[in-house]
């Protein structure tokens, strides 16, 4: 092989390995309170018996991306809610994190949802339960490192309702009493 051919092969191999690394990756600033971007999306929790309360640092929040029929966790988006010691109302908002989407270039649209759950479930979303919830879907056009995207200003936060489950005995009593009253009327 000639020296020119060897240099050409070496150049092609180098380009093959370097080009994928040089592409930009999409970036999103995950913050539920960002006045500069028009985002004010507080999260509330309720235990059914008391008025809604801020989740605070006892709750996790995470972004999940819609991929076909599945919601997949977005790496690097797991965070908690802020502490009330940071100011009045701060505990309604997530601790902001900058999330990178390595498989998506800036300008790409992605459909996301925010999930919130109590820390006793651990750092992985447990599925819909009495103290975990998923927001409505929203679409974001990813930014880059210099200008990361923000949550849309239309995002309205999350309500984590802790609803007690009725016991089988109570449901049985309600059903029996209903049958009793219907029988007496006939």
As a whole-number percent, the residues of the chain with pLDDT over 70 amount to 74
pLDDT tens readout for residues 21-73: 445 799 999 999 999 999 998 887 665 555 566 788 988 999 999 998 888 99
Question: Quick one: which of 69, 141, 136, 72 has its CA closest to 104?
Answer: 141
pLDDT tens readout for residues 87-96: 777 888 999 9
Instruction: Say what the pLDDT of residue 87 is.
Output: 74
What stretch of H or E contains 132?
strand 132-134
As a whole-number percent, the residues of the chain with pLDDT over 90 amount to 35
Check if the beta carbon of residue 184 is closer than 8 Å to that of residue 149. no
Question: Quick one: which of 39, 49, 5 has its CA closest to 151?
Answer: 39
The pTM of the full predicted model, rounded to 2 decimals, is 0.70
CA end-to-end span of the chain: 102
Instruction: Say what the pLDDT of residue 1 is.
Output: 63
Mean pLDDT of the chain: 80
């Amino acid at each position: 092989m000639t020296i020119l051919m060897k240099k050409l092969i070496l150049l092609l191999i180098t380009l093959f390995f370097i080009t994928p690394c040089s592409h930009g990756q999409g970036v999103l600033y995950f913050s539920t309170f960002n006045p500069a971007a028009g985002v004010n999306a507080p999260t509330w929790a309720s235990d059914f018996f008391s008025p809604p309360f801020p989740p605070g640092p006892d709750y996790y929040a995470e972004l999940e991306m819609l991929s076909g029929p599945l919601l997949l966790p977005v790496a690097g988006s797991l965070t908690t809610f802020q502490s009330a010691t940071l100011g009045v109302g701060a505990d309604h908002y997530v601790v902001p994190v900058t999330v990178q989407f390595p498989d998506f270039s800036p300008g790409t649209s992605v459909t996301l949802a925010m999930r919130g759950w109590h820390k006793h479930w651990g750092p992985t979303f447990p599925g819909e339960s009495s103290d975990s919830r998923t927001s409505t879907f929203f679409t974001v056009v990813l930014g880059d490192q210099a200008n990361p995207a923000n949550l849309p200003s239309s995002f309205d936060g999350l309500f984590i309702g802790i609803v007690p489950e009725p016991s089988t005995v109570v449901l049985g009593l309600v059903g029996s009493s209903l049958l009793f009253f219907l029988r007496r009327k006939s």
